[in-house]
Structure 1
Amino acid sequence: MADRYDLLDLESQFSTEEIALRDRVREFVDRRIRPNIADWYERAVFPTEIIPEMAELGLLGMHIKGYGCAGRSAVEYGIAMQELEAGDSGLRTFISVQGSLAMSAIAKHGSEAQKQQWLPEMAAGRVIGCFGLTEPEAGSDPGNMQTTAVRDGDEWVLNGTKRWIGLGTIADIAIVWARSDEGVRGFIVPTDTPGFSAEVLEPKASMRASIQTELHLDNVRLSEEHRLPEAKSLRAPFECLNEARYGITWGAIGAARDAFNTAASYADERKQFNKPLSAFQLTQQKLVNMALELNKAQLLALQIGRLKDAGKLERHMISVGKLNNCRIAIDICREARTILGGNGILLDQSIMRHANNLESVRTYEGTDEVHTLILGQHLTGQNAFA
């Protein structure tokens, strides 16, 4: 059955296998996330008990081929992210940090031994990873990172602080990026290594059903076998970030779609002046405007996904998706809330939770400003970052 917002028979653009995947993930969200998410969000709890179920669905590193991973297409990965974020952005973020960031770093830049050691365990959810790139003074400017890696004989010594790192306190390994005399290098840091510690950043008004942390590295000693051998510049972590940004292009649609569906259903049932809200012209205008943006966002995500699967995706295209779809998703959530009036601020409705979460989604993996300048550089040939 097509989604209510689908004005263009968008469902016909997806294969039978893609729709089947969508339905499996949607069923999981309806069964395990929707009944519990308001409580998890209010108590600021990330439900680690659902990790094995996510692994059983093949969601962890699902776009990676081999090593126990599902090897799904880019479009299938996007569909899964969209369905998960319809449940909650924080739970989609878990999949993104584990798969698009930590696992992708190993898959793209690790040795064969590292891939064999870590990826099957991470795909099964038995090992959790985090991705340490951003710092207290280097958010949008990772090239200014202060974390250092210094050779000491056959070992490396890492010192520094990473901030806004998803999953840091439950991770078994951290992918840490550091500046060395040889350039930016990446390391697999077991979190039980002496000198490594993580603390939760709280309290938060957004992404409450997820974990954001600060990592501290105090003379953390690692052998050469912990270094990602194919990561030789800042380009390496950016390749992982682009995987996560791609997932957000789809995920934001899920949050917006859920807000739209909530508002549309409410408008059908809520009566004012002896008729349902959906019978009022202004309500219909709001629903139409939201549906139009959702249709455009879905077409955009699908085009980017098909290009990615065809090996034709360029860096600026991901910025188009991340910038546009986060922007319209927040606008839709705000408009949807107005249809519910005061009831829209209650946690038994999803809209304000989605809106709050999207403020974080809009910020991480590149702010609006960063993606605007990436697109500006593409259009003009001029670098406005410096």
Structure 2
Amino acid sequence: MEQKYIMLGIFGVILMLSVGIVVSENAKEYKIETVSEILSEHVGGEAVIRINMSGENLLGTGFDVLFDNEILEAISVEEGSIMKKCKKTTFEALPPEINNTKGIVTFQDLCLGEAVSENGNVAVIKFTSKKIGKSYIKLNNTYLFDKNGDPINISPVLAGNVFVSVGHPMYNASLKIEKVSGEKYGDVFVFKVLSVEGKPVEGAKVKILNNVLYTDTNGTAEIILKHTGNFEVAAEKENYTSCSDMFNLQPLGNLKIIVPEDINLGDEISIKIAYSNETPAGGVKVSIKDESFVTDETGEIKYNIGKGVVKISAEKEGYKGDEKEIFAKGGIVCGDKKCEGNENCKTCEEDCGKCIVCGDKKCEGNETAQNCPGDCDSSSSMWTIIAVIAAIVVIILIVAIIMSKKKKQNR
């Protein structure tokens, strides 16, 4: 049987728990005292267990710590303060063993050539909480070693379990996301999801545009992005508060539309599309009115300029597009806000306004009941005339009454 250990105290991060055993040299007197539970504030937080030893002429101790590996994960075991005061110990030669698969931490540490000088802490064990729940912390195979190095088996003395409770997710259990690499269109973007303690979070769901990824053991997820402009990245995981952040994806470059300075009505002009470094841009979609063109390797297309202002736009995937308005000089131009020459409401509504159409049920402009009875009702015109005559008659009567009253007053 392996030689193992004893425990005198356990302390938690939030609430303290101590299990104390006082052992006389003859090992006849024991005292056990427990206080409350140990709490981990949130999932991903730490619970720290401290094991203390008390007694006289003792070289050290050994024990197994059993825990629920579905709730907790042991991450480190350190030598306690009173053992560090020994000139030499067995800690490095026989280091502690952590077995998270079975939920066991095995510890043994002896002071070589001398007894431990005082009572106090012999081991510090740190756990991280994996999910909401309550885990037992139980000591097993506990031993003290007397001044001769012989084990004193006191495991029957330790009755009952100590519990570590993991609280519900809190604000400080939220996630945060960082961009590790990636700047422009087509780059491999790497994002890292961390807890508030700065630890990588494995298995977090990361949403980028219409893509869903999951972080690896390093808390990272990567994707090739073919997009430009601002975009949102969100991260979430059970028992954590979700997070999101905005990032910017730079274009590969800018497009530039180049046209002649002087353009006359009816000219066939050369429209060139170039990158920001002035090199020709091939494969660019050029839109003019209702027509679309694609530039060749010279970055050029030909176009016959007609009447009016012409809007040109250029676009290519991965690049920032460009727009430009041009118009030809000379001639009568529809769109210059002047209704002139042979322009009329039918040929250039933009300059001459909308045409008045007989039959649109609107009596407007120079339309009358005679020239457009469909829009201007003759009966309505007659009633309008009657109303005007009636108004005139009323005015005449009012004037007559006033004059009559004045004559009577003069008499």
Determine if the TM-score, normalized by the shorter chain, exceeds 0.5.
no
Greater C-alpha Rg: 2
Higher percent of residues as strand? 2
TM norm structure 1: 0.20
Q: Which has the higher contact order (CA 8 A, sep 6+)?
A: 1
Q: Which has the higher helix share?
A: 1
